[in-house]
Structure 1
Amino acid sequence: MIIVGCFSWSCFMVLQAITLKSYPDELAVSAWICLLATIEGAIVALIMERGNPEVWAIKWNTTLLATLYCGIICSGAAYYVQGIIIIERGSVFVTAFNPMGMIIVAFMG
C-alpha cells in the first residue's frame, strides 16, 4: 500500500504540473481538486456507511472545526501553494520537500 500511495502521489504531482502548464490558474486548479476529492469522498462514505444515516448529521463540536480546518487549510491552501511552487520551480521541488510533512507532523505530535 505504501508503494501504491507513493506512486499515486507522484502521478498526481506530474498531472498537476502538466495541467498548470496549459491552465496556469492555481486557485481554480486547487478548487477543482478539492471539489472532485469531496465528491469521491462522499461516494466512498455512502458506500462504507450505508444504512447508518446518523453519520451524516452535522454536530457543532470540535470534530466539525477539525474537519473544516483540514479541508480549508491542509487541502485547499496546500494545493494552492503546491501549484504556485510547481509553476515557479517545478514538480521536483514540491516532491523533494514532501517528506518534511511527516517529520513536522511527528514533531508536533
Structure 2
Amino acid sequence: MTHVATHDSAHHPIRLYLMVWGWLFVLSACSYMVDYFHLQGHLRYSLILLFMMLKAGLIVAVFMHMAWERLALIYAILLPIGAVLVFVVIMVLESDYTLLSRTLHPGLL
C-alpha cells in the first residue's frame, strides 16, 4: 500500500479570519470617521492612506497567505513596491522644488 501525501498543512483557525475581518471593519470605520469629522489637509490624506495601507497589509498577510510564505517570495513582492514608493516620494519632492524655482525665477527657465 502506498501512502499519498496531501497538501493540507494550510489549516488556519476560523478565529484568525474573524479577527482580521473585525480589524478590517474597525479600520474601515476609522476611515469613514475621517470624512464624518470633516478633517482637512494633510491630516485627512495621511489618515486615509494609513488606514488603506493597514487594510491592504492585513488582506495580503492573511487572506493571500503572505504571512506564511518564504522570505524570498515576500521580498520579491514587497521590495519592488517599496522602491516604487521611494521613487514617488522623490518625484514629489523634486516637483515641489521645480515649482518653487519656476515661481521665484520665472524668466530663467
TM-score (norm 1): 0.41
Q: Relative CO higher for 1 or 2, CA cutoff 8 Å, sep ≥ 6? A: 1
* Structure with greater helix percent: 1
